[in-house]
Amino acid sequence: MAESGRPDGPALRGLLDRLGAMLSSEPRDRVQLVEQLRTAQTRDLIDPEALAMLEGVLNVADMQVRDIMVPRAQMEVVRREADLPEIVPDVVASAHSRLPVIVDSRDEVVGILLAKDLLRFFPDASGEAFDMQEILRPAVFVPESKRLNVLLKEFRLSRNHMAIVVDEYGGVAGLVTIEDVLEQIVGEIEDEHDVDDYLTQILQHPGERYTIKALTPIEEFNAFFRTDFSEEDFDTIGGLLLSRFGHVPRRGESVSVDGMEFRVLRADNRRLHLVEMRRVAEPAPPADPAGS
């Protein structure tokens, strides 16, 4: 092996020869191909991460945009007629670099706003008047039946990172980003706005708002918020919330638990990742009719 940890020439040739021998019999279909790749992984010819990516590549060819899009109701948007003081808080709260711009409804997407395009209007001393029409980028529309491998190719060629998804009647069904497609191949992609592992499980924000990892242990959650959720029924706050939802929630869904409202910030089709929590006022107890 080379000092860098990579196989040297003879070792690499040996690895390729073994992998070639494993795949020497031509697979009859995709199922058999996947079986051969998994067998190669069990024999340490490829590592688990590489196997997962290979399977992801194969799956992308079978998946459609509707399988991964952010539904219309959960789209974070800004209105074309909004002024700068209205837009900035929405952009900051969403933590997205791109947002669809609408007119009266989500069916009227007229363009895409890039958060970085707002920087030219700060500081206020610049004196440049804000005009949404000047900085609006054209929106790309794709049908919800489009295959993900085709969409990924189009994203790469056009250098677009977001597309608006439309249904068969021309109405807006949701949106999809290049990150959504890539995550089907390489797994979840953490960005600078995600809560990284080196940060605390619970982050407090102004206005009694908290960002909480779904993997936060119930014990830690109880200690932080002085709650008494059962540590025997659930190990993590994500487990507790899944039981209250009754299904794997999608981004934007909310549930109230004991005077706290939890809103899903990030989730996939298998598990919950990140939630926002706000305390809500508990209803006052009913008055005693006896006056006691």
Tell me: the pLDDT tens digits for 153-209?
999 898 889 999 998 888 999 999 988 888 877 766 555 444 444 345 788 777 788
Res 10 pLDDT > 80: no
**Assigned CATH for 66-186:** 3.10.580.10
The answer for residues whose C-beta is within 8 angstroms of residue 83's C-beta and 6 or more apart is 130
Name which residue leads in pLDDT, 285 or 120.
120
Considering the segment(s) 202-279 as one domain, its CATH architecture is 2-Layer Sandwich (3.30)
Tell me: the pLDDT tens digits for 196-229?
443 457 887 777 888 888 888 898 999 999 999 9
Model-level pTM greater than 0.75? no
Please, where are the H alpha helices in the chain? 9-22, 30-42, 48-60, 84-94, 132-135, 148-158, 178-186, 218-225, 237-245
| 232 band by pLDDT with thresholds 50, 70 and 90 | confident
Q: Start-end ranges of CATH 3.30.465.10 in the chain?
A: 202-279
Percent of the chain's residues with pLDDT above 70: 79
Mean pLDDT of 104-114: 89
Q: Start-end ranges of CATH 3.10.580.10 in the chain?
A: 66-186
